[in-house]
Amino acid sequence: MKKNDTVMRKLLLDCVKKWSNNIRVRFPDSIIFRLVGTDFAEIEMIIGRNRNNKPSVTANMQSDASAFEGWALVLKASIVELKKLTLTWDEPLDKNDKHYQRFLYRVEKFSVIFQSWFYVGQSYRKALRIKLGSKYKVNVPIKKRDQSYLKSTADNERKLEQQMINDSVCRQWLKEKVGGSMIGNQLPVGVFDGNVAKGNAIFTGQASAIDLWGVNEEGDELSIFELKLPSNKKVGIVSELFFYSMVMGDIINGRFSFEGKRCMEVDPWPPDYIRVGKIKKIKAFILTTATHCLINDNVLKILNDALSPKFVFLRSDPSECSLHIKNKEAL
DNA sequence: ACGCTGTGCAAAATAGGATG
DNA sequence: CATCCTATTTTGCACAGCGT
């Protein structure tokens, strides 16, 4: 990093520290932050490469080094003078890398939503395989999740997710958030060009899924939840929920559609509930007891002001309902 | 100099889905 | 339908920067 970049980075980081009241926050090593002029009106953000020289845009979106949405919103929230934020990045050799395609899709959505202050060059459109006016397929669950790991004593996210589904107190708590009586887990978000098959995958498939989801009684409101253990605090949770929301948005507007054989074990079955023309609103929940210190209500407000009323981003603490599970297990 | 805590990498776990 | 491969996610560990 150039000497001047280091100076500017520190200036910006000081703003963020003051704003968040947390002196320990840091920016990811591989993102360069640069002031364009002599004040804070214009900032350039460059997604660079990790220590192995791999472009961070090919990393999982939940790793902070590739989570541009969170950092952009944090800068917007903490620097009142900011008028223009420009995003650029080091390109990977393989333009079809599934993480990179997901990154480009997020860039396209984010830059349209925040066009009054967020800028990105247009050349990325050539590389993005999701084209305006074309239709794409989304995969469906292939089988019911094996529950044997519930017996494990380890604390992990999957286990908590399954417990939230199985436990009556947690289910009730989730139902109230959803405003309906059905709760599902593992809603896939793989997007394919043509039929659902390995070679046609544009985004990561397989294990890529929304943790928990539900639809309200009237059938017009979809809720999605991203669950994280307190040990897993990342700015990238914003990228995950943003991406999931946008994919769901493209499903309910008909641009993406579910494809795949119905698995009788899986209930609720996503295509039965997430229907074109029926869902009018998407509620996206950050489901964490402890969240990264920069991801606060001010950040979510910027998202909500821009996306209301079709999307709303919320935070909830799962320990409100899940604390009793551990005690029950001990008996 | 010390203790905290956020960060980044790598190993481990796991499930999709291809294959026979 | 059972098995196997591997893409992807998640966890664990070591390190670095900061204030006291």
pLDDT digits (tens, 9 = 90+) for A101-152: 989 999 999 999 999 999 998 888 889 999 988 999 888 887 776 665 555 5
Strand, coil or helix: A282:
strand
A69 and A146, same structural domain? no
Point out the residue nearest to C9 (C-alpha to C1').
Answer: A207
CB contact at 8 A, A313 and A300: yes
> Which residues form the domain of A296?
136-330
Going by C-alpha positions, the residue among A249, A234, A243 that lies closest to residue A202 is A243
Output the pLDDT for position A229.
80
Q: Are A314 and A300 in contact (CB under 8 A)?
A: yes
Q: Identify the pLDDT of residue A150.
A: 58
Judge if the beta carbon of A186 is closer than 7 A to nucleic acid strand C. no
- Comparing A162 with A278, which gets the higher pLDDT? A278
Q: How confident is the model at residue A331 (pLDDT cuts 50, 70, 90)?
A: very low
pLDDT at A292: 83
Nucleotide closest to residue A198 (CA–C1'): B17
Summarised one tens digit per residue, pLDDT across range A213-271 is 999 999 999 999 988 887 778 888 888 889 999 999 999 999 998 888 888 778 888 89
Report if pTM > 0.85: yes
The token pair at A67 is 């989570």
Are A72 and A147 within one domain? no
Residue A308's pLDDT is: 93
Instruction: Check: CB of residue A279 under 8 Å from CB of residue A270.
Output: no
Establish if A230 belongs to a structural domain: yes
A156: pLDDT strictly greater than 80: no
More confident residue, A168 or A84: A84
Q: Is the CB of A14 within 7 Å of strand C?
A: no
Which of residues A58, A86, A120 is at a domain's end? Answer: A120
Q: How far is the CA of A145 from the C1' of C3 (A)?
A: 18
Q: Is residue A194 part of a domain?
A: yes
| A12 CB and strand C closer than 7 A | no
Report the pLDDT value the prediction gives residue A330, as an integer from 0 to 100.
Answer: 35
State the helix-helix crossing angle for A98-113 and A237-252, rounded to 10 degrees: 80
How far apart CA A324 and CA A331 sit, in angstroms, is: 11
Q: Are residues A29 and A63 located together in one domain of the fold?
A: yes
In this prediction, residue A326 carries a pLDDT of: 60
| One domain, residues A276 and A187 | yes
Backbone angles phi, psi at A56, to 5 degrees: -65, -20
Residue A102 lies in a domain: yes
Does at least one atom of strand B sit less than 7 Å from the CB of A229? Answer: no
pLDDT of residue A42: 93
pLDDT over threshold 90, residue A86: yes
Q: What pLDDT was estimated at residue A154?
A: 58
A208 touches strand C (CB under 7 A): yes
- pLDDT at A192 > cutoff 60: yes
Please indicate, yes or no, whether residues A177 and A323 belong to a single structural domain of this protein.
yes
Residues A62 and A155 reside in one and the same domain: no
Is residue A55's beta carbon less than 7 angstroms from any atom in nucleic acid strand C?
Answer: no
A127 occurs within a structural domain: no
Q: Is the CB of A67 under 7 A from strand B?
A: no
Summarised one tens digit per residue, pLDDT across range A13-46 is: 888 888 887 777 888 878 888 888 888 899 999 8
pLDDT at A50 > cutoff 80 = no
Give the three-state DSSP class for A142.
Answer: coil
